[in-house]
Amino acid sequence: MAAHHASKARLNVGLIGLGRLGQVYARDLSSRLAHTRLAAVSDTDADLAKKTAAELDVPRSFVDPGALLDDPAIDAVVICTPTHTHCDLAIAALERRKPTFCEKPLALSLAASEAVGDAVRRTGTFFQMGFMRRFDPGYAAAKARVEEGAIGTPVVFKSTSRDPYRPSLEYANPASSGGLLVDMGIHDFDLARWFMGEVATVQAVGGTLAYPEMKAVGDIDNAIATLVFADGRLGVIDLTRNGVYGYDICTELLGTSGTIRVGYIRQTPILLMTKNSIAQDTVPYFMERFERAYTLQLQDFVENVRLDRTPPVTVEDGIEALRVAVAATRACQTGQPVALATAAAAGA
Amino acid sequence: MAAHHASKARLNVGLIGLGRLGQVYARDLSSRLAHTRLAAVSDTDADLAKKTAAELDVPRSFVDPGALLDDPAIDAVVICTPTHTHCDLAIAALERRKPTFCEKPLALSLAASEAVGDAVRRTGTFFQMGFMRRFDPGYAAAKARVEEGAIGTPVVFKSTSRDPYRPSLEYANPASSGGLLVDMGIHDFDLARWFMGEVATVQAVGGTLAYPEMKAVGDIDNAIATLVFADGRLGVIDLTRNGVYGYDICTELLGTSGTIRVGYIRQTPILLMTKNSIAQDTVPYFMERFERAYTLQLQDFVENVRLDRTPPVTVEDGIEALRVAVAATRACQTGQPVALATAAAAGA
Amino acid sequence: MAAHHASKARLNVGLIGLGRLGQVYARDLSSRLAHTRLAAVSDTDADLAKKTAAELDVPRSFVDPGALLDDPAIDAVVICTPTHTHCDLAIAALERRKPTFCEKPLALSLAASEAVGDAVRRTGTFFQMGFMRRFDPGYAAAKARVEEGAIGTPVVFKSTSRDPYRPSLEYANPASSGGLLVDMGIHDFDLARWFMGEVATVQAVGGTLAYPEMKAVGDIDNAIATLVFADGRLGVIDLTRNGVYGYDICTELLGTSGTIRVGYIRQTPILLMTKNSIAQDTVPYFMERFERAYTLQLQDFVENVRLDRTPPVTVEDGIEALRVAVAATRACQTGQPVALATAAAAGA
Amino acid sequence: MAAHHASKARLNVGLIGLGRLGQVYARDLSSRLAHTRLAAVSDTDADLAKKTAAELDVPRSFVDPGALLDDPAIDAVVICTPTHTHCDLAIAALERRKPTFCEKPLALSLAASEAVGDAVRRTGTFFQMGFMRRFDPGYAAAKARVEEGAIGTPVVFKSTSRDPYRPSLEYANPASSGGLLVDMGIHDFDLARWFMGEVATVQAVGGTLAYPEMKAVGDIDNAIATLVFADGRLGVIDLTRNGVYGYDICTELLGTSGTIRVGYIRQTPILLMTKNSIAQDTVPYFMERFERAYTLQLQDFVENVRLDRTPPVTVEDGIEALRVAVAATRACQTGQPVALATAAAAGA
């Protein structure tokens, strides 16, 4: 978090991982963000790295992310690779004292996530966790209104996440995705902590109800998790892969003097009315819903590094959201409530 | 408006006209209204009159409305016959000093409507004009909010009326219906006066755009009328017979510090969401939309008569709404603005 | 269920209990329902019984409900008294072979509810359980669409019930109300069974989060219950007493090819838009929301008795919804999942 | 429209005018658009031109727009200056054979707008008129659905434009703004032509109803214009400066088999529900509503020039929309309908 970044007109960012989301980050870093230069990209697919660099006028491209990290021209790093690689790459970046942004989830295991936490503390290097919903203007507005006291004391947190179709079976495999409650739920568990604080106990139920073929890889397609926060307040999260009508993300904070809801499902503001029917369209998928949040999140990272500010989403946020998600997964598998202290001990 | 009505537990009402709306009034008068007894019905169709009386336990039925009006057991009269008969029936009722409710429009010609006005003044008998929208809880709430100052001073009145399909050609014939701007528009012109006061000038355009067969009877199926009120404020009304998606009635008052809208188009509170689509149903037709307003309107009439109160919708309201509708019709036909003084003079 | 009822023009109904809801039923039975005569009322408050009878032209009033039940002029009985009296009154009515409608919940204990079930079977007498939401046009439309296959197979049931304020502490006392999960939840548990079938396991969490004074009587003000149905499908119900913005009841069925939502929170169809704000009002409380459902439910009861039809909501529906509510209460108290077989055994 | 543009990786654009909208265009041209380089800016305020160039890494800045136009490094020109300068600048650019984009309205007088049309035809140079609503995803989707036949034949066009507050009196002065019906209405008149074709007759009423101080500069703050299209179909447009609740732009096409509405007024997708109130926020002003449309419009211009495509919005569109707006202004002033042939003759 050296002050010298602030003196630069533009922060030179290296981006590791050029998959679907990596491409969006590459575009944002190269053209949409102020005070930013996409100085290098890296991907294990050499052609993809070269092609992306050429298209976006990026000076350097690498196959080996270590080479990117060693490049002294790189001021800061964005990690956007498959989850199982986050831990090693983040630690490598931190050890080189490169300010680092890491896409969610932090890791698949609590042990791995805590290793990153150790590296952050050991190296004293800036680390920002990627939970883009916090940067969505809707969620940000809701947070602001709750903090202003618009609903009194929030007593119940409700959140729903729905994908419009199931992922590939390869992706869904809990060995790589962490399973439904980690892969999809991590965002809702992070929001739960952001709005309400730490979770004490988790209960969960789930099932493979819409896509029986997912049983082959061992994942469920629907789950409901209930949370009791440390102070006794309540939460409930429902997740589904069969939100076939569209991508639907909504959250509610019920308080003692009101309630606030955030979320929308219409894509275009048109209403088609025909015989006995009023029809709207829906949001197709996550990029249509959260494109702006992704951009705002990266801009925030760049400014935090340039201006030597502390990260608004920390490595601890990454660890604790994962801890709840892992506990929920266990609760769902055993049919028994899981107290978070137990989860922490078992996960460590 | 004799005080002796107030002493009766129930007002004995005679209903003239048992068509579509008459049946609804018969049901309301016989079972839904407090302090009311449907004491007689009359219809030129003797079988219909008898059958309705039998079904609803109505003591007497008549073919001749004059016989009903002469019946001393009848305390008050509801007229719900075809428009061209309103004038004579209303005058006959008023001359017998029967408190009278008359369905809209008051008449097809200004001369006929003013003859009723003369009879009201001459006989000093209670007369209430039927404009049921004023009794709709939505419109009533809007009126109350406007009067509380919720939108500052209203400066523009906007209203839309849409039928879900065209009427029969027989019904649509301007000789009996008065044409689109009278038949449908009378409600909106009444609302315009209720919210904004008297109209100074009317412009209108129209066409037979969706149902070419209506040209045969000489009526249009779409029209737009603009109003300049006496104090210079503005209004606009659009009417259509091809609101094919459902029955859609909505009104807006735009003020100096806000705006208020009244209207809805959903029939049941269900939302069906399927692949890339969110669908609601619509209100089929006027009875589904205004059933409660009709009931509240008749209850108000009964209470006004029983408690010797003045009518909230007067014969003048019936005359003046018709005056604007007739002026709009002329404006539409000539393509020229019509000043209401001219209309009044010409109509008289 | 004797066929002779069908031959009567009107069913003579005796109403027991003239509290808040009893007054609504009295009005509906005396004036809004076809083929019905409110022939007698009974209430332990003699003045209330007399006054109500006088106002509504009811021929007879009683203090002792047994006297009403013994009256041979009474064809059928509606029970609308405090819950703890339902069991004895229902059994007394059934033993006299009077077709009976009983307001929800059937009883506070499973044992009492099963005693009513025994009486129904023993006497072979018509018995209809009151769950008015099934008669709400919105819920009925949702049910019809689900059965038509509009959403494929429903896999998750979600339901929310919110009161606009807490009940009196006297009412809230679980000894008389059954506690939040019985008193409020019974409707949602009934809907869960109606849409999805039998429940296998219940989990629940709850707390006294908004009204600390409710701890004095031992009730909670917020709860979340998750259900696993016998075939593995899922459900979640959240209940609150602090829906301070209005009375909010909504339900969703998420299916394999779509989702359907039922519920609304706007009372009047007006929209007030002022500086940077669009505001609507809300439904104040249950009677504004479900008035029509109550009327339709009683009309259905009358027709079922007159036409010798079987009841659409049976005593078993009353027993089983209570069984789930009692199990949810236990799950909430113990923090452990409750399997319904266990609940049934323990409750018996 | 020389093909050599297509061979360049990036189009070098010169931007003339750095006011409020000019700043947005500068940002888009310098960072958000593909295949684009903002090569020069010009503004009569030399400091503003220099400062903007420095901030956005623009190689050259000018005070004299003629110097920018003479710069051989400039491939294409964007004109975003006050309306009264559009004509001369556009003609100067066209005479230098620079492909030109001109912000709306094309001019204040029909004569000036037609001079630009002459220059386009004389020089054979690419000219694209700026009507950004056509590039709004909502309007574009509506247009597509109408063309697919989703509503049958559109028979009535309705459009509403509302500013959240009045402009400065200096801006509002009709001598520079053209008056309400030109300044605000031009967008709606363009949409009317886009969806429905040419206009035959215009009627209009208006008044200074909310901001009496506007009378001093001779402008009105509310107006309603009705249109009869050449084939007899109908349109209505209402405009206000006192949409004090927010910036509200909506349009409806009513057809023979349905209707389509485009527009929205909520800014963030949050709903705040407190005692008897459901509240949303509103769109503050035009940039929040149409930011994306502006970006898409400029990207479209760049691609059209690069790929040698014809402009989707032509100089004729600019002229004809102005012709209707001028006719509406006259109709409003005279209280008489204006036939467009007359307007054209008078305006020429």
d(CA C81, CA B107): 53
Relative to beta strand A36-42, strand A60-62 is parallel
**D258 touches B at CB < 8 Å:** yes
Whether B315 and B336 have beta carbons less than 8 Å apart is answered as no
Which of A203, A242, A258 minimises the CB distance to C226?
Answer: A203
pTM, rounded to two decimals:
0.92
Length of chain A: 348
Whether B253 and A249 have beta carbons less than 8 Å apart is answered as no
Whether C117 and B249 have beta carbons less than 8 Å apart is answered as no
- CATH number, domain at C179? 3.30.360.10
Instruction: Tell me which residue range forms the domain holding D181.
Output: 134-289+321-343
Give the type of residue at C128.
Q
- Which residue of chain A has the CA closest to D259? A273
**Do C85 and C151 reside in the same domain of the chain?**
no
List beta partners, residue C187: none
Residue D4 has pLDDT above 60, yes or no: no
Residue B4 has pLDDT above 60, yes or no: no
Decide if C348 is inside a domain: no
d(CA D75, CA D59): 14
pLDDT, position A240: 98
Residue C309 has pLDDT above 70, yes or no: yes
DSSP string, D55-78: HTT-SEEESSHHHHHH-TT--EEE
Residue B263 sits at φ, ψ, to 5 deg, of: 145, 155
**Do B172 and B304 reside in the same domain of the chain?**
no
Structure tokens, C91: 């059994």
d(CA A232, CA B278): 37
d(CA B15, CA B22): 8
Find the mean pLDDT for residues D39-60: 96
pLDDT, position B343: 45
User: Which residues of D fall within a CB distance of 8 Å from B156?
Assistant: 209, 222, 224, 238, 240
List beta partners, residue C40: C14, C60
**A273 touches B at CB < 8 Å:** yes
- CB pair distance less than 8 Å for D278 and C281: yes
Confidence class of residue C31 from pLDDT cuts 50, 70 and 90? confident
**C161 touches A at CB < 8 Å:** no
Q: Which residue has the tokens 């500086």?
A: C275
Hey, which residues 304-343 in chain D have their CB within 8 Å of chain B? 335-337
- CB pair distance less than 8 Å for A276 and B281: yes
**D280 touches C at CB < 8 Å:** yes
**Do D168 and D29 reside in the same domain of the chain?**
no
d(CA A331, CA A202): 7
Decide if D348 is inside a domain: no
pLDDT single digits (tens) D66-104: 999 999 999 999 999 999 999 999 999 999 999 999 999
- CB pair distance less than 8 Å for B156 and D224: yes
Q: What is the CA radius of gyration of chain A?
A: 20
pLDDT, position D7: 43
d(CA C120, CA C251): 31
Residue D1 has pLDDT above 60, yes or no: no
Find the mean pLDDT for residues C172-188: 95
Find the mean pLDDT for residues D247-275: 94
Answer with the residue of higher pLDDT: B345 or B228: B228
- CB pair distance less than 8 Å for A260 and D269: no
**Do B157 and B297 reside in the same domain of the chain?**
no
pLDDT single digits (tens) D128-157: 999 999 999 999 999 999 999 999 999 999
User: Which residues of B fall within a CB distance of 8 Å from D220?
Assistant: none
**Do D115 and D150 reside in the same domain of the chain?**
no
Supply the mean pLDDT for chain A.
94
Whether A224 and A204 have beta carbons less than 8 Å apart is answered as yes
Supply the mean pLDDT for chain D.
94
User: Which residues of C fall within a CB distance of 8 Å from D266?
Assistant: 278
d(CA D245, CA C277): 6
Confidence class of residue A31 from pLDDT cuts 50, 70 and 90? confident
Decide if A348 is inside a domain: no
In this predicted structure, which of B191-195, B223-227, C263-267 has the lowest mean pLDDT? Answer: C263-267
Q: Which residue has the tokens 């003044």?
A: B121
User: Which residues of A fall within a CB distance of 8 Å from C210?
Assistant: 153, 155, 256
Find the mean pLDDT for residues A256-280: 92
The total of other beta-carbon atoms located within 10 Å of residue C269's CB is 22
Q: How far is D272 from chain C (nearest CA, A)?
A: 9
- CB pair distance less than 8 Å for A284 and B276: yes
- CB pair distance less than 8 Å for D209 and B156: yes
Structure tokens, A240: 């589904």
Q: Which of A231, A260, A250 is nearest to A148 (CA)?
A: A260
Which of C156, C210, C259 minimises the CB distance to A256?
Answer: C210
User: Which residues of B fall within a CB distance of 8 Å from D206?
Assistant: 234
**Do C300 and C237 reside in the same domain of the chain?**
no
Hey, which residues 78-137 in chain B have their CB within 8 Å of chain C? 137
Whether B189 and B328 have beta carbons less than 8 Å apart is answered as yes
Task: Domain count for chain C, please give it.
Answer: 2
Decide if B119 is inside a domain: yes
Find the mean pLDDT for residues B195-213: 98
d(CA A86, CA A186): 15
Supply the mean pLDDT for chain C.
94
- CB pair distance less than 8 Å for A278 and B276: no
- CB pair distance less than 8 Å for B273 and A265: yes
DSSP string, C100-169: EEEESPS-SSHHHHHHHHHHHHHHT--EEEE-GGGGSHHHHHHHHHHHTTTTSSEEEEEEEEE-SSPPPH
Decide if D187 is inside a domain: yes
User: Which residues of D fall within a CB distance of 8 Å from A257?
Assistant: 274-275
Question: How would you classify residue A199: left for phi > 0, otherwise alpha for psi between -120 and 50, otherwise beta?
Answer: beta
pLDDT, position D106: 96
- CB pair distance less than 8 Å for A245 and B280: no
- Which residue of chain B has the CA closest to C28? B32
Q: How far is C244 from chain A (nearest CA, A)?
A: 6
**Do B27 and B54 reside in the same domain of the chain?**
yes
Q: Which residues contact B211 (CB under 8 A, 6 or more apart)?
A: B166, B221, B241, B242
**Do B283 and B307 reside in the same domain of the chain?**
no
d(CA D18, CA D65): 12
Q: Which of A73, A72, A114, A70 is nearest to A93 (CA)?
A: A70
**Do B225 and B98 reside in the same domain of the chain?**
no
Confidence class of residue C345 from pLDDT cuts 50, 70 and 90? very low
Residue A243 has pLDDT above 60, yes or no: yes
- Which residue of chain D has the CA closest to C164? D275
- Which residue of chain C has the CA closest to A206? C234
**D276 touches A at CB < 8 Å:** no
pLDDT single digits (tens) B75-109: 999 999 999 999 999 999 999 999 999 999 999 99
The total of other beta-carbon atoms located within 10 Å of residue D218's CB is 12
**A281 touches B at CB < 8 Å:** yes
pLDDT, position B7: 43
Decide if A216 is inside a domain: yes
Whether D61 and D42 have beta carbons less than 8 Å apart is answered as yes
Burial of B257 (C-beta count, 10 Å sphere; 0-12/13-18/19+): middle
d(CA B209, CA C305): 53
- CB pair distance less than 8 Å for B280 and A278: yes
- CB pair distance less than 8 Å for C210 and A155: yes
Confidence class of residue B19 from pLDDT cuts 50, 70 and 90? very high
pLDDT, position D8: 58
**A197 touches C at CB < 8 Å:** no
Residue A5 has pLDDT above 50, yes or no: no
Among D245, D272, D274, D283, most C C-beta atoms within 10 A, so best to mutate, is D245
**Do B283 and B296 reside in the same domain of the chain?**
no
pLDDT, position A195: 98
**Do B148 and B256 reside in the same domain of the chain?**
yes
Give CA separation, C48 vs B175, C30, C55, in Å.
57, 16, 11
Hey, which residues 4-43 in chain B have their CB within 8 Å of chain C? 31-32, 34
- CB pair distance less than 8 Å for D278 and C245: yes
User: Which residues of C fall within a CB distance of 8 Å from B142?
Assistant: 270
Neighboring chains of A (3 or more beta-carbon pairs < 8 A): B, C, D
d(CA A221, CA A181): 9
**A156 touches C at CB < 8 Å:** yes
DSSP string, B68-89: HHH-TT--EEEE-S-HHHHHHH
User: Which residues of D fall within a CB distance of 8 Å from C276?
Assistant: 245-246, 281-282, 284
Q: Which residue has the tokens 């490595």?
A: A315
d(CA D65, CA D100): 13
Q: How far is D19 from chain A (nearest CA, A)?
A: 21
Neighboring chains of D (3 or more beta-carbon pairs < 8 A): A, B, C
User: Which residues of A fall within a CB distance of 8 Å from D147?
Assistant: none
Residue D348 has pLDDT above 90, yes or no: no
A-B contacts at Cβ under 8 angstroms: 53
Decide if A180 is inside a domain: yes
Which of A203, A240, A335 minimises the CB distance to C254?
Answer: A240
Decide if B348 is inside a domain: no
Q: How far is A274 from chain B (nearest CA, A)?
A: 4
- CB pair distance less than 8 Å for C205 and A226: yes
The total of other beta-carbon atoms located within 10 Å of residue B316's CB is 17
Q: Which residues contact A326 (CB under 8 A, 6 or more apart)?
A: A109, A110, A182, A343, A347
Torsion, CA C177, CA C181, CA C182, CA C183, rounded to 10: 50
**C257 touches A at CB < 8 Å:** yes
Which of C142, C151, C270 minimises the CB distance to B145?
Answer: C270
d(CA B227, CA B328): 9
Confidence class of residue C152 from pLDDT cuts 50, 70 and 90? very high
Residue C284 has pLDDT above 70, yes or no: yes
pLDDT, position A34: 86
How large a percentage of chain B has pLDDT more than 70? 96
Find the mean pLDDT for residues A131-140: 97
- CATH number, domain at C296? 3.40.50.720
**Do A156 and A278 reside in the same domain of the chain?**
yes
User: Which residues of A fall within a CB distance of 8 Å from B278?
Assistant: 245, 265-266, 279-282
The total of other beta-carbon atoms located within 10 Å of residue C6's CB is 14
Confidence class of residue B8 from pLDDT cuts 50, 70 and 90? low
